[in-house]
Structure 1
């Protein structure tokens, strides 16, 4: 019995008591009538397999003390097939124990659903725009981008698993003076000149390599007049660098549905039309010859300039045009995943949504990821783009491998700074979390191979035989997977899936040690062995599904 099924049993019990006149429930907004009842695993398993506070929630609707209502429900639930016990605790909590057969049925459910187990319709109907990484096309993706590449892609997978329609979007910052500086930097390097310091140009060592790559493809560029060279190197360098970014992301298993060019917002007139569109909501004003958006009306720390007194559009004006474009395409919410140096954007983007007439609590979300550093042999590998010593996404892949890097980045709350220890994350030991989870999966696959060698074919299943304490713990954890996926998606916290997988792996390893799955030697396969094979297969499916949500492979051999 899954938590969802048990929730429905409790709800059906309530409705049955109302239908036969035993219980009267008056409507209470947000409480009753209800479409679902919350059931959760208690922290202390001595309190049962699941617990619900439904009696506390419905005490006003029922006109009964919580314990009295809980006792009424408990008496009926004890007669439900699959429920072995129902006990009242504290002020009116209801602790429920499942019969072994009902608990074990989750293994059959998982085997039947396979790759779909854990998926839900929680966010069906939502069209979410998920924007992440969004780097300038003027250099390689660095370690900070790498964190969002892993977390953003995993969040997209989670949201889709929870029923949402997700568009993963990369915003290409290809407008503004930075692109001219990029073109000039490449032209100087292509002509064998050094890039002068302190002028906003790009001095990284990669610029020399990129300039040579462009020159190899277009050898005539250095023969052009100076300004024509800058423009030509800007265009060719942009295409080359963007392609290199795309190749790095694909190598990292991070796919984008849309590559959105900031320049198209300028070319289409969207940026120029921002002031007129936002003026319709009454938050645009003129002061000192400039056009402003009164974002302080909605909690921003200062009002924002849209058009400078000289007529130039600000970068914030492009931000406005981009948000309006997303909303015009029908997305809500629009999720922005930004780096640690973008804290100031949270207030202004929220205020922008409100100024455009949207609900900032519903239509826009801004997530901030903290800094990452990488350590090898006890020494930090420094990031210094100007000095040319940049740790790129490709460097991270080469140092750690895709699986270890993605898992390590996804398992940490993005609100916290993160240290990636190369020595730990490439070690084959239990302290390495990705190895620990992948090893659990390979161990599960080994059991299947060994069973096949013994001639085992999956047949009848007697879930009531799975009575060992280790089996109860493992089954309860497997049953919790859909809830964890929906919770992680809803709270935008992909690390919850990684922590779940580590807990599940620990419980599997403990069960594997204490409960013999296959018979020894030439002993025949018993019904208990067969039931345990069902449980082993269910565990393997869930670990595989969880790793897939994180974009990490599930090896069958290690």
Structure 2
């Protein structure tokens, strides 16, 4: 609809030029927007205002000239008006919106998809939690943001791959192994003081008990062998649990990439040597440093400590270089907000290894406050006081958990109300949206029982303001998907669905779909089926079910 209106405006400009009514042939870009106030029309155009300087005349005069050359070849224009300092407001006839219903049902499950990506390859890496403990609700928000964002980008025409980076090397894995090993010693009856820097949760003791039964060789092992075996076993076990929790949450990664593999194949050493040769990495005080200050970082960063052990940054450099070597045009990392300071150094790594840093983007996900009886639940994998993602999904369900995580911008902190998420009422946003899909399914079943059939030819009978409002909302769906993908803002989709659901509830409360008028009923059945299709398409993008009954 915007494209058609833009074409009308451009033709009017050309005609105004031909008539010699405008001073300059040069005209700047202009915006066509949907007014916030419905009384201001269906579309508002600022072309007269942005062109005033070039045309050397008041905006309202330009608007008058342009409107005098408007020709409505397709007969969709109801009226026009000049508002304020020079906005041109366009009011379309109800018939202008009828093709939207046909487009929705014609496209079916593909309605809303756009081709902005043109098949360019994008990798979205998300979750990537250290395999040192179960996923908590903070991981859950990052998981669904990354998952939904990847699916939205796919709907925008990109070829998308979802990846989980397994931090299965380094100090935290050794700490995990030591934690399990020490608990195992306690189980055997040894008296020892459990270090504060070890992982404290009950799951550590459970892992120790399992290791004791599975690995009899641990009985005679020294500390070095015991810690190493416990570390590998515990990390693999926890990672298996993470996979299961994510699958239950509807999150499936295309690839799981091991950090340890970068060391096993010598990639980290090779990349560091190349950076030393180019002068990006230098030696000082017995350690090796990366010149991240050359890339606007506040200070240079250590990649190899003076004891010869590499830092996480070293493997991150190699890992991100590997991403672009796999042919991705863009790389998007989803991190917790506490990693904000890490962005510049990874951009430096990307640039120093030969890739434009602008091809690297980061989504920073803010914290989740899980509320129980109005009190936040403490979450810390080190102390063992955390609410697992699995527990939340088991309590409120996958659909509610995903919707609640997504319905607010990830740039803002989120209060997750468990009691609200469990409600089976319109107070619960996900129920509010899903109920539209289920209610329409019920109406369609009733219509079939009463032998009332849909009739596209009767769409012209749809004249009620609430019917036109539904069509306008559906027309916005492709633009919502495009903006969501362009701005990396998945929350736009649940917000859109809540608005469409609200418009449907308003319509349903004021008008009977199955009325005494058979022709009108047939038209309204077509309308509500198109609404159901858009709701379903949106929910599918979010990884949420579209129930036929509730």
With normalisation by structure 2, the TM-score equals: 0.91
In structure 2, the partner of 1:6 is 5
Q: Which deviates further from its counterpart, 119-128 or 72-81? A: 72-81
Which residue of 504, 526, 544 maps to 1:552? 544
Give the SS at the match of 2:416.
strand
Report deviation, 1:305.
1.7
- SS of residue in 2 equivalent to 1:446: helix
Maintained 8 Å contact 2:324/2:355 = no
Report what 1:259 is aligned to.
256
Please give the alpha-carbon distance, in whole angstroms, between the structure 2 residues aligned to 1:62 and 1:452.
60
Q: CA 1:445 to 1:5, structure 2 compared with 1: closer, same or farther past 3 Å?
A: farther
Deviations 1:107-164 (A, max 9, x none): 1111111111111011224321111110111211111111111111111111111111
Alignment of 1:45-84 (within 5 A): 45-57=38-50, 66-81=59-74, 82-84=76-78
Which residue matches 2:456? 460
Shift of 1:524: 4.8
Please show how residues 155-554 of structure 1 align to structure 2 within 5 Å: 155-191=149-185, 192=187, 196-198=193-195, 200-216=197-213, 218-226=214-222, 227-279=224-276, 283-360=280-357, 362-519=358-515, 523-526=516-519, 528-554=520-546
Which range moved further: 287-296 or 445-454?
287-296
Structure 2, unpaired ranges of 5+: none
Cα distance in 1, alignment partners of residues 70 and 209 from structure 2: 75
> Structure 2: how far apart are the matches of 1:306 and 1:387?
29
Flag structure 1 segments of 5+ consecutive residues without an equivalent.
Answer: none
What is the alpha-carbon distance in structure 2 between the residues aligned to residue 445 and residue 118 of structure 1?
A: 21
Contact 2:12 2:67 survives alignment (8 Å): no
TM normalised by structure 1 equals 0.90
Q: Which among 79, 83, 86 is matched to residue 92 of structure 1?
A: 86
What is the alpha-carbon distance in structure 2 between the residues aligned to residue 471 and residue 314 of structure 1?
61
How many residues were matched structurally? Answer: 545
Identify which range, 207-216 or 496-505, moves more after superposition. 207-216
Mean CA deviation greater in 327-336 or 156-165: 327-336
Matched, 1:40 2:33: yes
Structure 1 residues 357 and 386, CA gap change in structure 2 (3 angstroms): closer
Q: Distance in 2 between matches of 1:311 and 1:184?
A: 21
d(CA) in 1 for partners of 2:329, 2:286: 35
Go from structure 1 to structure 2 and tell me whether the alpha carbon gap of 1:553 and 1:287 turns closer, same or farther (over 3 Å shift).
Answer: same
CA shift in 2, pair 1:280/1:111, >3 Å: farther
Moved more, 261-270 or 82-91: 82-91
Q: Which residue is 1:154 aligned to?
A: 148
Describe the shift of the 1:231–1:282 C-alpha distance in structure 2 as closer, same or farther (beyond 3 A): closer
Contact 2:408–2:414 at 8 Å: present in 1 too? yes
- The C-alpha deviation readout for 1:454-492, integer Å capped at 9, x for no partner, is 212222334333222212222111111111111112111
1:108–1:22 Cα change, 3 Å: farther
Residue 539 of structure 1: SS of its match in structure 2? helix
